[in-house]
């Protein structure tokens, strides 16, 4: 009787241990932010973010969205096996952008964290405007003669 009880306890402990060993995907990035530095308005630039599945289950990226239409991610649609690496290409179109730009890409995955955020930064130099002179006289409301700036 004592052997049966011990055997049942041993089997229950083994089953509990096995059932608690839940397989999960885990996405890790060497970098989650990239700075393009200074670029000219209208330039299209890209950066490739690499990542690894350090989990014990297949990693799936179910969605990836840029914070605006100027930021476009391309991500793998197939499962990333445990231990494998892959990448996400992020393109930024600086048309009609000026000054410091900070954009994000939101990834939805089957990892424990569920959501990952990637950041890109650029300092966009405005394009020269043709046909307009910088020395156009300005008339103030209190004066009738042009004042040159």
**Per-residue pLDDT tens digits for 93-134:** 999 999 999 999 999 999 999 999 999 999 999 988 765 544
What is the number of residues in the chain? 149
What value does the mean pLDDT take over residues 80-93?
A: 98
The token pair that represents 29 in the structure block: 């990035």
Residue 91: pLDDT over 90: yes
């Amino acid at each position: 009787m004592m052997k049966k009880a011990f055997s049942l306890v041993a089997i229950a402990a083994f089953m509990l241990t096995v059932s608690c060993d839940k397989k999960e995907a885990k996405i890790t990035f060497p970098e989650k932010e990239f700075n393009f530095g200074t670029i000219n308005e209208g330039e299209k630039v890209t950066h490739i973010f690499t990542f690894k599945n350090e989990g014990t289950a297949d990693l799936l990226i179910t969605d990836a969205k840029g914070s605006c239409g100027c930021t476009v991610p391309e991500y793998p649609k197939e499962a990333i096996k445990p231990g494998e690496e892959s990448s996400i290409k992020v393109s930024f179109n600086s048309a009609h952008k000026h000054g410091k730009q900070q954009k994000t890409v939101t990834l939805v995955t089957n990892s424990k964290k569920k959501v990952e955020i990637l950041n890109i930064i650029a300092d966009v130099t405005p394009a020269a405007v043709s046909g307009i002179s910088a020395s156009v006289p300005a008339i103030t409301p209190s004066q009738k003669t042009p004042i040159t700036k």
